[in-house]
Amino acid sequence: MDEVFTMVIPVFLPHAGCTVRCIYCHQGYITGIGEKGVQERIDRALRGRAEPCEVGLFGGNMFGVEPADLERLFSCFAPYRGIIQGFRLSTKPVPLRDETIDILKRNGVRFIELGIPTFNDVILAALNRAHTAGDLFQAFDRLQGEGFRLALQFMVGLPGETMGDIEETAENMVRLRPEYIRIYPLVILRNTPLYRLYETGEFAPIAFDEALERAALIYRGAREEGIDVVNVGLTDNEMVRGMVAGGFYHPAFGSLVQSRIFRDALGSAIGQLKGSGEARVILHRNDIPLLVGYRRENLKYFASLGIDLSWDPSGAERGSFDVIRGRERARGKMIDRKE
Protein backbone atom coordinates (compact mmCIF):
# COMPACT_ATOMS: atom_id res chain seq x y z
CA MET A 1 0.00 0.00 0.00
CA ASP A 2 1.31 3.48 -0.82
CA GLU A 3 2.53 5.19 2.29
CA VAL A 4 0.30 8.18 1.58
CA PHE A 5 -2.41 5.92 2.97
CA THR A 6 -0.55 4.44 5.95
CA MET A 7 -2.75 4.20 9.03
CA VAL A 8 -2.70 7.72 10.46
CA ILE A 9 -3.57 8.22 14.11
CA PRO A 10 -4.75 11.81 14.49
CA VAL A 11 -3.82 13.88 17.52
CA PHE A 12 -5.77 17.14 17.59
CA LEU A 13 -4.09 20.14 19.13
CA PRO A 14 -6.75 22.85 18.87
CA HIS A 15 -5.29 26.22 17.85
CA ALA A 16 -1.72 25.17 18.70
CA GLY A 17 0.50 27.86 17.18
CA CYS A 18 -2.40 30.08 16.06
CA THR A 19 -1.39 33.60 17.02
CA VAL A 20 -4.35 34.98 15.09
CA ARG A 21 -7.62 33.28 14.40
CA CYS A 22 -9.09 32.75 10.95
CA ILE A 23 -12.59 34.24 10.90
CA TYR A 24 -14.36 30.94 10.20
CA CYS A 25 -12.47 28.83 12.71
CA HIS A 26 -13.34 27.49 16.09
CA GLN A 27 -11.25 24.39 16.64
CA GLY A 28 -13.00 23.61 19.91
CA TYR A 29 -15.97 22.82 17.75
CA ILE A 30 -14.17 21.30 14.83
CA THR A 31 -12.19 18.81 16.89
CA GLY A 32 -14.91 18.22 19.47
CA ILE A 33 -12.41 18.08 22.34
CA GLY A 34 -11.84 20.34 25.30
CA GLU A 35 -8.67 21.72 26.84
CA LYS A 36 -7.13 18.54 28.24
CA GLY A 37 -3.37 18.03 28.59
CA VAL A 38 -1.39 17.23 25.49
CA GLN A 39 0.27 14.15 27.01
CA GLU A 40 -3.12 12.82 28.00
CA ARG A 41 -4.39 13.34 24.49
CA ILE A 42 -1.38 11.54 23.03
CA ASP A 43 -1.70 8.66 25.49
CA ARG A 44 -5.37 8.30 24.67
CA ALA A 45 -4.58 8.07 20.97
CA LEU A 46 -1.66 5.65 21.22
CA ARG A 47 -1.78 3.65 24.45
CA GLY A 48 -2.10 -0.09 23.88
CA ARG A 49 -1.36 0.13 20.15
CA ALA A 50 0.95 -2.53 18.81
CA GLU A 51 0.74 -1.99 15.05
CA PRO A 52 3.00 0.53 13.34
CA CYS A 53 1.32 3.80 12.49
CA GLU A 54 1.90 7.36 11.52
CA VAL A 55 0.80 10.22 13.77
CA GLY A 56 -1.07 13.21 12.35
CA LEU A 57 -0.77 16.48 14.25
CA PHE A 58 -3.87 18.38 13.25
CA GLY A 59 -6.06 21.24 14.43
CA GLY A 60 -3.58 24.08 14.66
CA ASN A 61 -0.78 25.94 12.93
CA MET A 62 2.22 23.81 13.74
CA PHE A 63 4.67 26.27 12.18
CA GLY A 64 3.43 28.84 14.69
CA VAL A 65 4.38 26.69 17.71
CA GLU A 66 7.49 28.07 19.39
CA PRO A 67 10.49 25.79 18.70
CA ALA A 68 10.99 24.95 22.41
CA ASP A 69 7.31 23.95 22.69
CA LEU A 70 7.59 21.91 19.53
CA GLU A 71 10.55 19.98 20.97
CA ARG A 72 8.52 19.37 24.13
CA LEU A 73 5.55 18.18 22.08
CA PHE A 74 7.65 15.61 20.22
CA SER A 75 9.20 14.43 23.48
CA CYS A 76 5.68 13.47 24.63
CA PHE A 77 5.72 10.77 21.94
CA ALA A 78 8.85 9.11 23.38
CA PRO A 79 6.96 6.14 24.93
CA TYR A 80 5.49 5.29 21.53
CA ARG A 81 8.51 5.72 19.24
CA GLY A 82 8.65 1.96 18.70
CA ILE A 83 5.43 1.96 16.70
CA ILE A 84 5.52 5.46 15.18
CA GLN A 85 6.82 5.30 11.61
CA GLY A 86 6.58 9.02 11.07
CA PHE A 87 4.49 12.13 11.51
CA ARG A 88 2.39 14.32 9.31
CA LEU A 89 1.00 17.69 10.28
CA SER A 90 -1.20 20.49 9.06
CA THR A 91 -0.11 24.11 9.20
CA LYS A 92 -0.30 27.51 7.63
CA PRO A 93 2.74 28.24 5.47
CA VAL A 94 4.00 30.75 8.06
CA PRO A 95 6.14 31.40 10.00
CA LEU A 96 8.80 29.43 8.16
CA ARG A 97 11.65 29.12 10.69
CA ASP A 98 14.90 27.24 10.13
CA GLU A 99 14.70 25.93 13.68
CA THR A 100 11.22 24.54 13.12
CA ILE A 101 12.28 22.79 9.91
CA ASP A 102 15.22 21.24 11.74
CA ILE A 103 13.00 19.96 14.58
CA LEU A 104 10.48 18.48 12.15
CA LYS A 105 13.21 16.67 10.23
CA ARG A 106 14.85 15.29 13.35
CA ASN A 107 11.55 13.98 14.64
CA GLY A 108 10.52 12.11 11.53
CA VAL A 109 7.89 14.41 10.01
CA ARG A 110 7.34 13.16 6.48
CA PHE A 111 4.19 14.84 5.20
CA ILE A 112 3.27 18.48 5.68
CA GLU A 113 -0.22 19.61 4.74
CA LEU A 114 -0.21 23.32 3.94
CA GLY A 115 -3.50 25.18 4.32
CA ILE A 116 -4.20 27.64 1.53
CA PRO A 117 -7.96 28.33 1.42
CA THR A 118 -7.53 30.44 -1.73
CA PHE A 119 -4.71 32.04 -3.72
CA ASN A 120 -6.54 35.39 -3.72
CA ASP A 121 -4.62 37.66 -1.32
CA VAL A 122 -7.59 39.99 -0.78
CA ILE A 123 -9.72 37.08 0.42
CA LEU A 124 -6.87 35.66 2.51
CA ALA A 125 -6.58 39.02 4.29
CA ALA A 126 -10.36 39.20 4.85
CA LEU A 127 -10.22 35.70 6.37
CA ASN A 128 -7.50 36.94 8.76
CA ARG A 129 -5.16 34.21 7.62
CA ALA A 130 -2.12 36.45 8.12
CA HIS A 131 -0.29 35.06 5.10
CA THR A 132 -0.32 35.50 1.35
CA ALA A 133 -0.30 33.18 -1.64
CA GLY A 134 3.36 34.17 -2.07
CA ASP A 135 4.10 32.76 1.39
CA LEU A 136 2.59 29.47 0.28
CA PHE A 137 4.75 29.28 -2.85
CA GLN A 138 7.83 30.11 -0.84
CA ALA A 139 7.06 27.51 1.85
CA PHE A 140 6.22 24.85 -0.73
CA ASP A 141 9.53 25.28 -2.57
CA ARG A 142 11.60 25.39 0.58
CA LEU A 143 9.92 22.38 2.22
CA GLN A 144 10.10 20.34 -0.96
CA GLY A 145 13.80 21.17 -1.19
CA GLU A 146 14.21 19.98 2.40
CA GLY A 147 12.76 16.60 1.43
CA PHE A 148 9.27 16.80 2.95
CA ARG A 149 6.31 15.37 1.06
CA LEU A 150 3.61 17.98 0.65
CA ALA A 151 -0.17 18.16 0.54
CA LEU A 152 -2.50 21.14 0.17
CA GLN A 153 -5.78 21.97 1.87
CA PHE A 154 -8.23 24.16 -0.06
CA MET A 155 -11.60 25.69 0.74
CA VAL A 156 -14.65 26.56 -1.37
CA GLY A 157 -17.51 28.97 -0.75
CA LEU A 158 -15.43 31.75 0.85
CA PRO A 159 -16.70 35.32 1.14
CA GLY A 160 -15.94 37.20 -2.08
CA GLU A 161 -14.80 34.06 -3.92
CA THR A 162 -15.55 33.71 -7.64
CA MET A 163 -15.27 30.81 -10.05
CA GLY A 164 -12.12 32.56 -11.30
CA ASP A 165 -10.55 32.09 -7.86
CA ILE A 166 -11.39 28.40 -7.96
CA GLU A 167 -9.83 28.08 -11.40
CA GLU A 168 -6.72 29.79 -10.05
CA THR A 169 -6.63 27.31 -7.16
CA ALA A 170 -6.87 24.40 -9.61
CA GLU A 171 -4.12 25.87 -11.82
CA ASN A 172 -1.78 26.41 -8.89
CA MET A 173 -2.48 22.91 -7.64
CA VAL A 174 -1.40 21.49 -11.01
CA ARG A 175 1.68 23.69 -11.01
CA LEU A 176 2.71 22.69 -7.48
CA ARG A 177 1.74 19.02 -7.78
CA PRO A 178 1.11 18.16 -4.10
CA GLU A 179 0.97 14.46 -3.23
CA TYR A 180 -2.63 14.84 -2.15
CA ILE A 181 -5.24 17.46 -1.37
CA ARG A 182 -8.19 18.00 0.93
CA ILE A 183 -11.13 20.22 0.03
CA TYR A 184 -13.18 21.86 2.76
CA PRO A 185 -16.43 23.66 2.06
CA LEU A 186 -16.87 26.76 4.21
CA VAL A 187 -19.01 26.10 7.26
CA ILE A 188 -20.34 28.94 9.41
CA LEU A 189 -19.88 28.09 13.08
CA ARG A 190 -21.50 30.04 15.88
CA ASN A 191 -19.28 32.34 17.96
CA THR A 192 -16.90 33.09 15.11
CA PRO A 193 -16.32 36.45 13.40
CA LEU A 194 -17.72 34.90 10.22
CA TYR A 195 -20.94 34.10 12.05
CA ARG A 196 -21.33 37.76 12.96
CA LEU A 197 -20.89 38.76 9.31
CA TYR A 198 -23.48 36.17 8.40
CA GLU A 199 -25.93 37.34 11.05
CA THR A 200 -25.68 40.96 9.99
CA GLY A 201 -26.10 40.02 6.33
CA GLU A 202 -22.62 41.26 5.39
CA PHE A 203 -21.82 37.77 4.16
CA ALA A 204 -24.39 35.82 2.16
CA PRO A 205 -23.14 32.35 1.14
CA ILE A 206 -23.44 31.20 -2.45
CA ALA A 207 -26.02 28.49 -3.26
CA PHE A 208 -25.16 24.99 -2.03
CA ASP A 209 -25.18 23.71 -5.60
CA GLU A 210 -22.61 26.32 -6.59
CA ALA A 211 -20.32 25.22 -3.74
CA LEU A 212 -20.61 21.66 -5.06
CA GLU A 213 -19.65 22.81 -8.55
CA ARG A 214 -16.60 24.62 -7.17
CA ALA A 215 -15.44 21.63 -5.17
CA ALA A 216 -16.06 19.42 -8.22
CA LEU A 217 -13.84 21.62 -10.38
CA ILE A 218 -10.89 21.25 -8.00
CA TYR A 219 -11.54 17.54 -7.46
CA ARG A 220 -11.71 16.79 -11.17
CA GLY A 221 -8.59 18.87 -11.82
CA ALA A 222 -6.70 16.86 -9.20
CA ARG A 223 -7.79 13.47 -10.49
CA GLU A 224 -6.97 14.40 -14.09
CA GLU A 225 -3.42 15.05 -12.94
CA GLY A 226 -3.16 11.92 -10.81
CA ILE A 227 -3.22 13.92 -7.55
CA ASP A 228 -5.02 12.07 -4.75
CA VAL A 229 -8.02 13.68 -3.08
CA VAL A 230 -8.04 12.21 0.41
CA ASN A 231 -11.15 13.93 1.64
CA VAL A 232 -13.79 16.40 0.70
CA GLY A 233 -15.88 17.99 3.45
CA LEU A 234 -15.71 17.80 7.21
CA THR A 235 -16.41 14.42 8.70
CA ASP A 236 -19.08 14.04 11.33
CA ASN A 237 -16.69 13.47 14.21
CA GLU A 238 -14.95 16.75 13.43
CA MET A 239 -18.08 18.68 13.98
CA VAL A 240 -20.61 19.43 16.61
CA ARG A 241 -23.60 19.70 14.39
CA GLY A 242 -25.47 21.98 16.74
CA MET A 243 -22.82 24.67 16.24
CA VAL A 244 -23.33 24.89 12.50
CA ALA A 245 -25.24 28.05 11.62
CA GLY A 246 -24.88 27.97 7.85
CA GLY A 247 -22.55 27.39 4.94
CA PHE A 248 -22.01 24.10 3.23
CA TYR A 249 -21.98 21.46 5.90
CA HIS A 250 -23.42 18.16 4.68
CA PRO A 251 -22.58 14.74 6.12
CA ALA A 252 -22.15 13.37 2.59
CA PHE A 253 -20.50 16.40 0.96
CA GLY A 254 -17.72 14.27 -0.54
CA SER A 255 -20.18 11.82 -2.10
CA LEU A 256 -22.23 14.71 -3.42
CA VAL A 257 -19.17 16.12 -5.17
CA GLN A 258 -18.24 12.75 -6.64
CA SER A 259 -21.72 12.05 -7.90
CA ARG A 260 -21.88 15.53 -9.44
CA ILE A 261 -18.65 14.73 -11.30
CA PHE A 262 -20.11 11.39 -12.40
CA ARG A 263 -23.28 13.12 -13.58
CA ASP A 264 -21.29 15.62 -15.66
CA ALA A 265 -19.19 12.89 -17.25
CA LEU A 266 -22.23 10.78 -18.01
CA GLY A 267 -24.07 13.77 -19.49
CA SER A 268 -21.07 14.39 -21.70
CA ALA A 269 -21.01 10.74 -22.91
CA ILE A 270 -24.76 10.66 -23.54
CA GLY A 271 -24.36 13.85 -25.56
CA GLN A 272 -22.26 11.85 -28.06
CA LEU A 273 -25.13 9.43 -28.77
CA LYS A 274 -27.81 9.93 -31.35
CA GLY A 275 -31.47 9.63 -30.45
CA SER A 276 -33.25 10.45 -27.25
CA GLY A 277 -35.03 8.79 -24.35
CA GLU A 278 -33.61 5.91 -22.39
CA ALA A 279 -29.92 5.10 -21.95
CA ARG A 280 -28.24 2.10 -20.32
CA VAL A 281 -25.05 2.56 -18.30
CA ILE A 282 -22.54 -0.27 -17.80
CA LEU A 283 -20.43 0.52 -14.78
CA HIS A 284 -18.59 -0.97 -11.83
CA ARG A 285 -21.06 -1.97 -9.15
CA ASN A 286 -19.37 0.24 -6.55
CA ASP A 287 -20.05 3.27 -8.76
CA ILE A 288 -23.82 2.75 -8.76
CA PRO A 289 -24.35 5.18 -5.83
CA LEU A 290 -22.47 7.83 -7.82
CA LEU A 291 -24.70 7.25 -10.82
CA VAL A 292 -27.90 7.33 -8.79
CA GLY A 293 -26.84 10.28 -6.64
CA TYR A 294 -27.84 11.32 -3.14
CA ARG A 295 -31.59 10.86 -2.81
CA ARG A 296 -31.64 9.78 -6.48
CA GLU A 297 -30.76 13.31 -7.56
CA ASN A 298 -28.85 12.26 -10.66
CA LEU A 299 -31.69 10.02 -11.86
CA LYS A 300 -34.09 12.91 -11.33
CA TYR A 301 -31.76 15.27 -13.14
CA PHE A 302 -31.56 13.05 -16.22
CA ALA A 303 -35.31 12.39 -16.05
CA SER A 304 -35.85 16.15 -16.17
CA LEU A 305 -33.91 16.09 -19.46
CA GLY A 306 -36.14 13.30 -20.77
CA ILE A 307 -33.46 10.60 -20.24
CA ASP A 308 -34.56 7.46 -18.48
CA LEU A 309 -31.46 5.72 -17.08
CA SER A 310 -30.99 2.05 -16.37
CA TRP A 311 -27.74 0.32 -15.40
CA ASP A 312 -25.80 -2.89 -15.58
CA PRO A 313 -23.14 -3.42 -12.88
CA SER A 314 -20.84 -5.57 -15.02
CA GLY A 315 -18.22 -2.87 -15.62
CA ALA A 316 -14.70 -3.87 -14.62
CA GLU A 317 -13.03 -0.60 -13.76
CA ARG A 318 -14.08 1.92 -11.15
CA GLY A 319 -14.60 5.42 -12.50
CA SER A 320 -15.14 4.21 -16.10
CA PHE A 321 -18.42 3.39 -17.80
CA ASP A 322 -20.09 2.68 -21.13
CA VAL A 323 -23.41 4.16 -22.09
CA ILE A 324 -25.62 2.49 -24.67
CA ARG A 325 -28.60 3.76 -26.56
CA GLY A 326 -29.99 1.53 -29.31
CA ARG A 327 -26.95 0.57 -31.42
CA GLU A 328 -24.88 3.50 -30.22
CA ARG A 329 -22.28 3.21 -27.52
CA ALA A 330 -19.96 5.75 -25.86
CA ARG A 331 -17.21 5.27 -23.30
CA GLY A 332 -16.69 7.66 -20.46
CA LYS A 333 -14.50 8.30 -17.44
CA MET A 334 -15.69 9.93 -14.28
CA ILE A 335 -13.21 12.76 -14.65
CA ASP A 336 -14.29 13.66 -18.20
CA ARG A 337 -15.17 17.30 -18.43
CA LYS A 338 -18.66 18.60 -18.94
CA GLU A 339 -19.17 19.70 -22.55
Give me the least distance between CB of 23 and ligand SF4, in Å please: 9
25 or 188: whose CB is closer to ligand SF4? Answer: 25
Give me the least distance between CB of 106 and ligand SF4, in Å please: 24
Cis peptide before 95 (omega within 30 of 0): yes
CB 153 within 8 A of CB 62: no
DSSP string, 184-200: EE-EEETTSHHHHHHHT
Query: Strand pairing partners for 89?
Result: 57, 112
Under the rule (CB under 6 A), what is the footprint of ligand SF4?
Answer: 15, 18, 21-22, 25, 27, 60-61, 92
Give me the least distance between CB of 116 and ligand SF4, in Å please: 11
Give me the least distance between CB of 115 and ligand SF4, in Å please: 6
Burial class (CB in 10 A: 0-12, 13-18, 19+), 186: buried
Give me the least distance between CB of 22 and ligand SF4, in Å please: 3
60 or 221: whose CB is closer to ligand SF4? Answer: 60
Which parts of the chain are beta strand (E)? 8-12, 53-58, 84-91, 109-115, 149-156, 180-185, 187-189, 228-232, 244-247, 279-283, 309-312, 320-325, 328-333
61 or 258: whose CB is closer to ligand SF4? Answer: 61
116 or 257: whose CB is closer to ligand SF4? Answer: 116
29 or 180: whose CB is closer to ligand SF4? Answer: 29
